[in-house]
C-alpha cells in the first residue's frame, strides 16, 4: 500500500464524477498506473492547452497581451499596486 498526495480542489471536483461511474479514487489511480505500464508512458499527450480550447474572451485577451508586449512603450506601467490603484481611481 502507498500514500498519494492529491490536490484537495481537484479531488473535490473528481470524486463526484468517479462516484457516478462507480469507481473509487483509489481504483481510478490504480487504473491510471496500469495504463502507464501498458502504454510504457503517460496514456495521454502532455502539452500546453491549445488556444482553440480558450473562450473568445480569452483569445481576445491573449491578442491584447501580445500587442502590449510588442509595444510596451505605448502602455502605462506601475511600480506598485498602490500606484496602479491610484491610476484606476483617477479614471
Q: In this predicted structure, what is the pLDDT of residue 45?
A: 87
| pLDDT tens per residue across span 70-86 | 999 999 999 999 999 99
So where are the chain's domains? 1-46, 51-90
Locus of grid cell 479614471:
91
Q: In this predicted structure, what is the pLDDT of residue 53?
A: 78
The C-alpha cell at 61 is: 485577451
Query: Confidence band (pLDDT; 50, 70, 90) for 32?
Result: very high
For the cut 90, the answer to whether the pLDDT of residue 21 exceeds it is yes
| pLDDT tens per residue across span 50-60 | 767 788 898 89
1-46: CATH class: mainly alpha
* Max CA distance (Å), the chain: 61
Dihedral angle sign, alpha carbons of residues 25, 7, 16, 14: negative
What's phi and psi for 44, nearest 5 deg?
Answer: -155, 165
CA–CA separation, 34 and 37 (whole Å): 5
pTM of the predicted model, to two decimals? Answer: 0.51
Amino acid at each position: 500500500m502507498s500514500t498519494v498526495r492529491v490536490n484537495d480542489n481537484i479531488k473535490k471536483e473528481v470524486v463526484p464524477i468517479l462516484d457516478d461511474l462507480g469507481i473509487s479514487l483509489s481504483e481510478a489511480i490504480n487504473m491510471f498506473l496500469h495504463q502507464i505500464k501498458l502504454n510504457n508512458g503517460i496514456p495521454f499527450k502532455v502539452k500546453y492547452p491549445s488556444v482553440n480550447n480558450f473562450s473568445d474572451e480569452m483569445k481576445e485577451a491573449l491578442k491584447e497581451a501580445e500587442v502590449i508586449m510588442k509595444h510596451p512603450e505605448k502602455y502605462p506601467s506601475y511600480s506598485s499596486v498602490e500606484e496602479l490603484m491610484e491610476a484606476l481611481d483617477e479614471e
